[in-house]
């Protein structure tokens, strides 16, 4: 790893490294860091268990492949965030790398949610075609802040534009994460330094902000247009379970960053940035327990139970959930 510029890119880590482990010959030294370590681990484990239960029930009642493969992809989100946040807390000196990997999965979840909405709407139309459902729609006003303009959803380019408004984020976000990892390795990312367009962090943040805003706006347009077809499918709960994760992780990181140097002070082994990052990772681990439980309600497997139909093997659904090359034919 290349050494950072001390003025523009101050080091995120102290030179002195704590050599002690969680266990020692004298037992556990229950300092603040180890208590947080334990809480993060327990919460991550609970999140994984809750996610596994929900995914397992969907997999054994896999009666609608088109919808449930997208649901399973969404259900992975709390577990992915919890596991990566635990490791970013444990290996805090490499926090930036874990954070960039974690954020990349957000794009997968948003695309899965759009495809799930499309499946829901298509199920209400002739020929199981979302285009046939859109043909029933009249000219609509755009959501805020562009409500002065109207659009015609029956135009041939409408669904193409909506899909790519979200899919562009699926492409850009992983690329931004890769760019961030490379920049961090060469010491030019500069997350903890002053905001400056001389650093890679500023450009990555701006591009990411514009990209996710476009993606969320595309989702909002499609939801507003098809809300009648989505009645009874708990679309708001489904959307909020994803959106709240994004909002909590984003805004609480801003709060902890703002507390650096004011409330959060460095110690012998941890810089202000280390402590702020650790608190953010710990908070995410705790929050993911709540969100994984909420997803059990929002994405319930019970609506896919067909009386008298035998349970399915879990392997095909799990493979479908990670196979992004195959199409989604009906089961």
242: nearest Cα among 325, 299, 161: 299
The answer to whether 92 and 278 have CB atoms below 8 angstroms apart is: yes
Give the three-state DSSP class for 121: helix
Which residue pairs from 18-23 have beta carbons closer than 8 angstroms and sit at least 24 positions apart in sequence?
Answer: 18/269
Q: How much is the pTM?
A: 0.86
- In this structure, the chain runs to a length of 331
The answer to whether 71 and 22 have CB atoms below 8 angstroms apart is: no
Give the three-state DSSP class for 167: helix
Tokens (6 digits) for 54: 């929900």
The answer to whether 177 and 100 have CB atoms below 8 angstroms apart is: yes
The answer to whether 215 and 243 have CB atoms below 8 angstroms apart is: no
Neighbouring residues of 38: CB distance < 8 A, sequence distance ≥ 6 = none
Give the three-state DSSP class for 210: helix
Per-residue pLDDT of the chain (331 residues; tens, 9 = 90+): 555 555 567 656 554 455 445 445 555 566 777 888 899 999 999 999 999 999 999 999 999 999 999 999 999 999 999 999 999 998 888 888 888 888 889 889 988 998 999 899 888 877 777 878 787 777 777 777 777 777 788 787 888 888 899 899 999 999 999 999 998 888 888 876 667 788 888 899 899 889 988 998 888 888 888 888 888 888 889 988 998 998 888 888 888 878 877 788 877 777 888 888 889 999 999 999 999 999 999 999 998 998 888 888 889 999 999 887 755 544 4
Distances (CA, A) of 102 to 7, 33, 38, 78, 105: 28, 22, 21, 10, 6
275: nearest Cα among 290, 293, 255, 256: 256
């Amino acid at each position: 790893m290349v050494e950072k510029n001390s003025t523009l890119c101050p080091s995120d880590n102290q030179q002195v490294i704590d050599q002690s482990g969680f266990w020692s010959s004298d037992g556990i030294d229950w300092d603040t860091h180890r208590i947080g370590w334990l809480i993060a681990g327990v919460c991550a484990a609970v999140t994984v268990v809750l996610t596994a239960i929900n995914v397992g029930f969907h997999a054994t009642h896999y009666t609608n492949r088109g919808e449930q493969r997208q649901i399973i992809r969404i259900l992975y989100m709390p577990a992915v965030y919890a596991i990566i946040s635990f490791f970013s807390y444990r290996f805090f000196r490499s926090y930036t790398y874990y954070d960039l990997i974690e954020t990349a999965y957000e794009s997968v979840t948003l695309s899965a949610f759009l495809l799930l909405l499309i499946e829901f709407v298509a199920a209400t139309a002739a020929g199981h075609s979302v285009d046939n459902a859109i043909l029933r729609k009249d000219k609509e006003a755009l959501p805020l802040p562009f409500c002065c303009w109207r659009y015609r959803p029956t135009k041939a380019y409408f669904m193409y534009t909506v899909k790519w408004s979200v899919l562009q984020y699926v492409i850009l976000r992983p690329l931004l994460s890769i760019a961030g990892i490379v920049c961090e390795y060469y010491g030019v990312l500069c997350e903890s330094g002053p905001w400056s367009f001389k650093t890679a962090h500023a450009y990555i943040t701006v591009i990411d902000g514009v990209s996710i805003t476009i993606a969320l706006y595309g989702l909002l347009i499609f939801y507003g247009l098809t809300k009648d077809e989505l009645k009874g499918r708990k679309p708001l709960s489904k959307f909020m379970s994803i959106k709240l994760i994004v909002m909590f992780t984003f805004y609480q990181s801003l709060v902890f960053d703002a507390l650096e140097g004011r409330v959060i002070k460095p110690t012998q082994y941890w810089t202000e940035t280390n402590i702020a990052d650790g608190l953010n990772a710990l908070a995410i681990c705790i929050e993911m327990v709540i969100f994984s439980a909420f997803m059990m309600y929002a994405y319930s497997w019970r609506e896919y139970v067909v009386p008298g139909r035998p349970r399915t093997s879990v392997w095909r659904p799990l493979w479908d959930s990670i196979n992004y090359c195959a199409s989604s034919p009906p089961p």
